[in-house]
């Protein structure tokens, strides 16, 4: 049994890339124009049970925009919510038991011009 983190991240990337109106990156190429979404990081708590293993994951996404105000960030976070909340992803290994958007927030970047949105997903994987 291997760690499903890579398979899960590939499924998230595919779902976001296919369903969002903006590009999605794990590593942003230099000079990339706004807006875009980044897959920032994952946290996992592993649980071994009698018949299968269950991982509780938190996945963090960021939305980046240079639109004046929060409107664009909020719209993109709404797209992410509609695309992923309570949805089932197809994995090559294991299965998503539940996936929920747990929180969303916006903030102005330190440059005073760029806005960032943060989306936190809570996921339960079984394999």
Is 76:65 a contact under the CB 8 Å cutoff?
Answer: yes
Which domains are seen in the chain, by residue range?
Answer: 5-126 (3.30.2000.30)
**CA distances from residue 28 to 45, 51, 89, 114 in whole angstroms, order as listed:** 27, 40, 24, 16
**CA distances from residue 41 to 9, 30, 52, 61, 66 in whole angstroms, order as listed:** 10, 20, 25, 8, 22
Is 21:79 a contact under the CB 8 Å cutoff?
Answer: yes
**49 or 32, which is more confident:** 32
Find the length of the chain. Answer: 127
Confidence grade of residue 64 (pLDDT, cut at 50, 70, 90) = very high
Q: What integer is the mean pLDDT of 60-74? A: 97
Is 58:71 a contact under the CB 8 Å cutoff?
Answer: no
Task: Tell me the pTM.
Answer: 0.91
Q: What integer is the mean pLDDT of 47-72? A: 88
Residue 18 phi/psi, 5-degree rounding, is: -80, -30
H/E stretch holding 65 reads strand 53-65
């Amino acid at each position: 049994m291997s760690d499903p983190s890579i398979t899960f991240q590939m499924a998230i990337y595919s779902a976001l890339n296919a369903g969002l109106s903006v590009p999605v990156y794990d590593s942003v190429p230099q000079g990339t124009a706004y807006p875009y979404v980044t897959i920032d990081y994952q946290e996992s708590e592993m649980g071994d049970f009698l018949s299968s293993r269950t991982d509780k994951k938190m996945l963090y996404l960021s939305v980046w925009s240079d639109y004046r105000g929060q409107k664009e960030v909020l719209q993109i976070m709404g797209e992410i919510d509609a695309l992923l909340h309570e949805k089932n992803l197809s994995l090559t290994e294991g299965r998503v038991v539940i996936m929920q958007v747990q929180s969303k927030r916006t903030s102005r970047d330190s440059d005073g011009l760029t806005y960032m949105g943060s989306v936190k997903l809570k996921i339960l994987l079984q394999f």
